[in-house]
Structure 1
Amino acid sequence: MFKTIGVLAHVDAGKTTFSEQLLFHTKSIAAVGRVDHQAAFLDYHTLERARGITIFAEHGRFQIEGDTYTLIDTPGHVDFSAEMERAIRAMDYAVLIVSAVEGIQGHTETVWQLLRTHHVPTYLFINKVDREGADVVQVMQELKQQFSPHIVLYEEAVEFVAERDEELLAQFMEDSLSEEAVFASLRQLIQQEELFLVMSGAALKGKGIQAFLDVLHNTTVTNYDVALPFQAEVMKIRHEGEQRVTFCKALQGELTVRTDLAFGETREKVTEIRLYNGNSYQAVQRVIAGEIFAVKGLSVPQIGDYIGATFDKGKPYTLIPTMQAKVVYNGTEHIKEVLRLFRLVEAEEPTLKVQWQETFQTIYVHMMGVIQLEVLKELLSSRFQLSVQFEDPEILYEETIRTTVTGYGHFEPLKHYAEVHLQLEPNERGAGITFSNACHVDDLTIGHQRLIEQHIFERAHHGLLTGSAVTDVHVTLLTGAAHNKHTDGGDFREATYRALRQGLEQAENVLLEPYYAFKLKAASEHIGRMMTDIQQASGTFNAPIITETDAILTGQVPVATFMNYPTTFLAYTNGKGAISLTFAGYDVCHNTAEVIERIGYNKDADPEYTSSSIFCSKGKGYSVPWQEVKACMHKETI
């Protein structure tokens, strides 16, 4: 049986040390490495050892009584939480490490919510019980109150199980309840996320590790089907020089070396299969469902894709960057070569969303935080001997519409022809761009209709207010036209972009900005300061929860006004306050006019977009401004 176990935590809770102990106690490694000694088995990258934090989700393998476990040690720093979320999708079970001293910390809440979003059965390990100030009872109270009442100490698990099954309760009362019956019930409840077992110990000293392993082994089960056609999810990409190594989780079936895989119209052959354990690997001829493995020979699939029997894009990830930064490069390499290297790194870290502005020959990257930029600089220097700087990060804005409109685009310079009519409607917040097709095949062939849909999704389209990406819009293809002789491949791209833009010109446009969901906990005396700060930051808050000693305040606040607030909060609470910030999506910008003026985007001078259309008369193409386009359309307009 193959099982994938992920270890997650707020930074410095002891996650990597715990992972090392699991590997050591199962004889997968000969000695326990330490983060502070730069000797951790799974934190083997130079960047990780230099900084003393986990940056990359790496995995080891160990055996218990014939079962094979893949252990994933994930980053605990918020700047690398996207790497953590990608690893979560590959986990069968998760272990959330919580410090017995600090208890629930800001990032602990983010991790818990992600695990619930992705429905990963979860164990908890209260670590550092040997430290001064450790209080397991207090931490358990916090966990039950803030996370789930079904968080239960292992010592109390028998009673918990018996209370939920009349037959088991009768056996419990008669003192005849067998250990196997308890384990069977625990397995079911844990898989259904109706029970979250808690154990405690001190990972640095190995205390509680063997007991945890015993419980883990007896209460976990997986049911992968090897008989089904092969299917896997791409979870990570790395490069060895220019050669790509693609890491996957096999979800069903089996894969062998030399297998051909189809990616649309492209086919690629698996030339090597590897099973990694830390930085080393074993080449194998075959892997089966449930295993995490790496292959060489693939270049098409990206992180999150499903490959094998079908080739599909996976579900979008929850965590997305809220800032961007401009790359500053003054070296001797051509800027297009610098862009190529950034693209290599982007394949490994897709949240970077590397953007190239041809007109200004500049590169922008998206980012989760400043530490991520620092690590990116070091990575580019060590791998490619490339020295870059970044300008100060800026907030990533988005744009949407508030009204329903129809946009018209026509592209007809000499010997070219395409016309597109699109209806644009406001979408629910966070829904992104969606598409439906109301075009009849008598107007456009299926191929042309699909081409238009492809152009809708092939890139982020610029809004009119700041040039930021357009989102939360439902696009309906109403109709269009083509010419049997003159319609060329790129004509529908031109017509589609112009139709989108012409529709935006008619709509009421709205600027959106990213928001945090916050949770502040401090001594009751600070509640007035907390509420004032939120109001001054243009945020909103719910009714505060006030006890004899503490006050808790929750709500939403713009990222732009709050990204540096944790330092201020910890200062005035003397480091005793607790703050949690999680990305809460985009909503209406609190200072639209100020942002528009600062960015200074000129919608009529965007080299990539225009609202006008091109028509042809007497063998010459001529431009028609967006206000007059509807009257010039060849197809009947609404």
Structure 2
Amino acid sequence: MHKTIGILAHVDAGKTTFSEQLLYHTKTIRQRGRVDHKDSFLDSHSIEKTRGITIFADQGIFSYNNSTYYIIDTPGHVDFSPEMERAIQVMDYAIILISAVDGVEGHTETVWQLLRKHQVPTFFFINKTDYEGTNAASVLEEIRTNLSEDVYDLTNSFNDEFIEFIAERDEDLLEKYMDTGYDQDLWIQTFKCMIQENKIFACSSGSALKDIGIIEFLDKLDMLTETSYSKSGDFAAQVYKIRHDESGNRVTFLKVLSGTLKVRDEVKYEEQSEKITQIRIYSGNKFKTVDQAIAGELVAVTGLTIPSIGDCLGAIADKTTFDMIPTLKSKVIFDTSIHVKEVLRCFKLLDAEDPSLSVYWDEHFQEIHVHVMGVIQLEVLEQIVQERFYFNVSFGEPRILYKETIDSAIRGYGHFEPLKHYAEVHLLIEPNERDSGISFENVCHANDLSIGNQNLVRHHLLERDHHGLLTGSALTDVKITLLTGRGHNEHTSGGDFREATYRALRQGLEKAENVLLEPFYDYKIKVDMDLIGRVLSDIQQAHGTFESPETVGDKVIVKGRVPVATFMNYSTTFASFTHGKGTLSLLFGGYDRCHNAEEVIEKIGYYKEADPEYTSTSIFCAKGKGYKVPWDEAEDAMHCL
């Protein structure tokens, strides 16, 4: 049986030390490493050793009883949470470590919510119980209060408390118990099923550093987990990580979901196929090559160049969406002696490995931009570029990633007809739900525009982010419908429909009520009663909103939304006035109307008339010569009204 187990936690809760203990007890490694000693098996990257934190989600493999375990040690720092979320998609089970010293922290709640989104069955391990003054029972109550009431403490094993806990959640089993008495195997099997169905979450405690409770926890984890992958079905797999080896080969990490994969197999993705040239099984930074991989295994392959992280291959056509989305962007600064194409090439490699970077080349300003979670990530990127590509970069001050949308439905018209070219596009552009992106509908009749050209319009609308008129930020939350269009059998050529489509979109935006959007956090704050006044005042000053505060014991919990721009540095202030005893959870909560739109628009200073990639002006032809028609006159000049 193959089981993929993720280890997740707030930074410094002891994930890596815990993982080392599992590897040591199963004789995978001969000695236990430590992050602070820079000798841990899973934090093998030099940057991880230098910084003493996990940055990359690396895996170790061990065998225990009749199962093969793949454990993935994930980053705990919020700046690297996209890496953590990418690993979550292939986990069969997760273990959340919670420090008995610190209890449930802000990032713990973020981890918990992501696991619930992906429906990953979860265990808890309360770590560092050897520290003086810690109390595992009180941390367990914290878990039940903040995360889920359905947490069972495995410490007392399967006693009367266990029977009561399960019976409260399974009436059929209770009835059987009343009739025939206690059958331990049946009750444990029910417990396993309820864990798998995310109805119950098991918890244990101990000390990873002092090796207390680890092997006992592993025994119970082994007993209470199972997977059922089919080797006989059609091949299907999910891409969860991409790396490049020392030779520059692209290495694609897969979770095989069904069937079998062999070297030299052709793997289909969308309408293309590529041949597998090598299959590797990684443990730490070392790997061995094998001839085939079967369902349930985590493997890495060479030969694939097209699929990206989150894509499914083979029999499953799906793509994972991610919640941990950067809200900041930064300019890459590099020495002019290095050719910009080389810098861009290197950053495109990094972009394949971390799609959240969204590396973008600004043709007009000749600049490279990246999207990031925070300043620590930028510092790490500097080190990565230096170590891998042997040149130095720095980054401009991170700025908020704004977006734009519209408030009213409008029609957009674009015509592109310089001599020997011809394309016309009519679009309906409507506001859509918040955080819905750009969706496309087609009501154009094939008699008006060929199916091929209709598909071109769709492609050009969805091929990239389009600039809004207020700040040049990405357009979002709109539904665009192709109403009609026109081509010419002889004169329409490559690129004509891109020109007409972009102009139609832009012409529509010129007539619309444009709205600037900014990213928001969904926050949850827990503080002592005497600090709630200060917290609510800070939220109001930050242009946030809050629900009615809730009192739990001697603490007060408040939830709400607040702009990232005003709250991104609040954690330092919060830690200071709460003396580290409050809890602040910040989770990206999507985009909404910008609280200071006029100020931002003025500061960015985007001049829509000078955008080299977009114009709302149409081009028509008369007497063998093209002429321009401005956006406010273009509608009347269209050919297929």
Fold match by TM threshold 0.5:
yes
How far apart, in 2, do the equivalents of 1:425 and 1:331 lie? 44
Is this contact kept in 2: 1:70–1:292, CA < 8 A? yes
Residues 1:509 and 2:514 are matched in the alignment: yes
Residues 1:626 and 2:626 are matched in the alignment: no
Q: 1:191-250: per-residue Cα shift (whole Å, max 9, x none)? A: 111100011111111111111111111111112222221111111010114211010111
Equivalences for residues 578-593 of structure 1 within 5 A: 578-593=583-598
The residue number in structure 2 matching 1:473 is 478
SS at match of 1:204: coil
Q: TM-score, normalised by structure 1?
A: 0.97
SS at match of 2:209: helix
SS at match of 1:493: helix
Alignment equivalent of 1:550, drawn from 555, 562, 576 = 555
Is this contact kept in 2: 1:331–1:387, CA < 8 A? no
Alignment equivalent of 1:300, drawn from 296, 299, 306 = 306
The residue number in structure 1 matching 2:99 is 99
The residue number in structure 2 matching 1:443 is 448
Residues 1:193 and 2:198 are matched in the alignment: yes
| Equivalent AA in structure 1 for residue 113 of structure 2 | Q
How far apart, in 2, do the equivalents of 1:117 and 1:145 lie? 19
Share of identical aligned residues, percent? Answer: 57
Is this contact kept in 2: 1:122–1:190, CA < 8 A? yes
How far apart, in 2, do the equivalents of 1:150 and 1:546 lie? 21
Report the alpha carbon displacement of residue 33 of structure 1 after superposing the two structures with TM.
Answer: 1.1
Report the alpha carbon displacement of residue 575 of structure 1 after superposing the two structures with TM.
Answer: 2.4
Report the alpha carbon displacement of residue 6 of structure 1 after superposing the two structures with TM.
Answer: 0.5
The residue number in structure 1 matching 2:405 is 400
How far apart, in 2, do the equivalents of 1:36 and 1:574 lie? 25
Report the alpha carbon displacement of residue 172 of structure 1 after superposing the two structures with TM.
Answer: 5.5
| Equivalent AA in structure 2 for residue 433 of structure 1 | I
Is this contact kept in 2: 1:524–1:548, CA < 8 A? no
The residue number in structure 1 matching 2:127 is 127
The residue number in structure 1 matching 2:542 is 537
The residue number in structure 2 matching 1:333 is 338
How far apart, in 1, do the equivalents of 2:303 and 2:325 lie? 29
SS at match of 2:149: coil
How far apart, in 1, do the equivalents of 2:308 and 2:171 lie? 49
Is this contact kept in 2: 1:353–1:365, CA < 8 A? yes
Alignment equivalent of 1:616, drawn from 615, 621, 632 = 621
How far apart, in 2, do the equivalents of 1:147 and 1:454 lie? 43
Q: TM-score, normalised by structure 2?
A: 0.97
Q: Structure 1 stretch 83-92 or stretch 222-231: which is displaced more?
A: 222-231
Alignment equivalent of 2:533, drawn from 523, 528, 543 = 528
Is this contact kept in 2: 1:24–1:31, CA < 8 A? yes
| Equivalent AA in structure 2 for residue 274 of structure 1 | R
The residue number in structure 2 matching 1:31 is 31
Equivalences for residues 64-79 of structure 1 within 5 A: 64-79=64-79
| Equivalent AA in structure 1 for residue 45 of structure 2 | H
Q: 1:83-102: per-residue Cα shift (whole Å, max 9, x none)? A: 00000000011011111121
Residues 1:635 and 2:640 are matched in the alignment: yes
Report the alpha carbon displacement of residue 357 of structure 1 after superposing the two structures with TM.
Answer: 1.0
Q: 1:426-459: per-residue Cα shift (whole Å, max 9, x none)? A: 1111111111111111112222111111111110
Is this contact kept in 2: 1:168–1:177, CA < 8 A? no
How far apart, in 2, do the equivalents of 1:167 and 1:417 lie? 71
How far apart, in 2, do the equivalents of 1:319 and 1:497 lie? 30
Alignment equivalent of 1:376, drawn from 378, 381, 394 = 381
Q: 1:488-522: per-residue Cα shift (whole Å, max 9, x none)? A: 12111111111111111111111000011122222
How far apart, in 1, do the equivalents of 2:61 and 2:42 lie? 11
How far apart, in 1, do the equivalents of 2:184 and 2:284 lie? 35
Residues 1:423 and 2:428 are matched in the alignment: yes
SS at match of 2:95: strand
The residue number in structure 2 matching 1:274 is 280
Q: 1:509-545: per-residue Cα shift (whole Å, max 9, x none)? A: 1100001112222222212211111111111111122
Q: Structure 1 stretch 387-396 or stretch 17-26: which is displaced more?
A: 17-26
| Equivalent AA in structure 2 for residue 426 of structure 1 | P
Equivalences for residues 219-230 of structure 1 within 5 A: 219-230=224-235
Distance 1:528 1:374, change over 3 A: same
How far apart, in 2, do the equivalents of 1:164 and 1:511 lie? 48
Alignment equivalent of 2:368, drawn from 341, 363, 370 = 363
Equivalences for residues 590-601 of structure 1 within 5 A: 590-601=595-606
| Equivalent AA in structure 1 for residue 275 of structure 2 | K
| Equivalent AA in structure 2 for residue 117 of structure 1 | K
SS at match of 1:245: strand
Q: Structure 1 stretch 539-548 or stretch 109-118: which is displaced more?
A: 539-548
Alignment equivalent of 2:259, drawn from 253, 261, 275 = 253
Q: Structure 1 stretch 215-224 or stretch 361-370: which is displaced more?
A: 215-224
* Paired residues, number: 635
Report the alpha carbon displacement of residue 166 of structure 1 after superposing the two structures with TM.
Answer: 5.1
How far apart, in 2, do the equivalents of 1:489 and 1:302 lie? 27
Equivalences for residues 3-82 of structure 1 within 5 A: 3-82=3-82
Report the alpha carbon displacement of residue 173 of structure 1 after superposing the two structures with TM.
Answer: 6.5
The residue number in structure 2 matching 1:283 is 289
How far apart, in 1, do the equivalents of 2:176 and 2:223 lie? 20
The residue number in structure 2 matching 1:84 is 84
Distance 1:24 1:500, change over 3 A: same
Report the alpha carbon displacement of residue 549 of structure 1 after superposing the two structures with TM.
Answer: 3.2
Please list every run of 5 or more consecutive structure 2 residues that lacks an aligned counterpart in the other structure. Answer: none
Report the alpha carbon displacement of residue 331 of structure 1 after superposing the two structures with TM.
Answer: 4.5
Alignment equivalent of 2:249, drawn from 227, 236, 243 = 243
Distance 1:177 1:360, change over 3 A: same
Residues 1:323 and 2:328 are matched in the alignment: yes
Is this contact kept in 2: 1:157–1:197, CA < 8 A? no
The residue number in structure 2 matching 1:482 is 487
How far apart, in 1, do the equivalents of 2:541 and 2:172 lie? 58
Q: Structure 1 stretch 426-435 or stretch 254-263: which is displaced more?
A: 254-263
Kindly report the root-mean-square deviation, in angstroms, between the aligned alpha carbons of the 2 structures: 1.5
Is this contact kept in 2: 1:524–1:547, CA < 8 A? no
Q: 1:603-622: per-residue Cα shift (whole Å, max 9, x none)? A: 11100111111111111111
Q: Structure 1 stretch 376-385 or stretch 449-458: which is displaced more?
A: 449-458
Report the alpha carbon displacement of residue 176 of structure 1 after superposing the two structures with TM.
Answer: 5.2
Please list every run of 5 or more consecutive structure 1 residues that lacks an aligned counterpart in the other structure. Answer: none
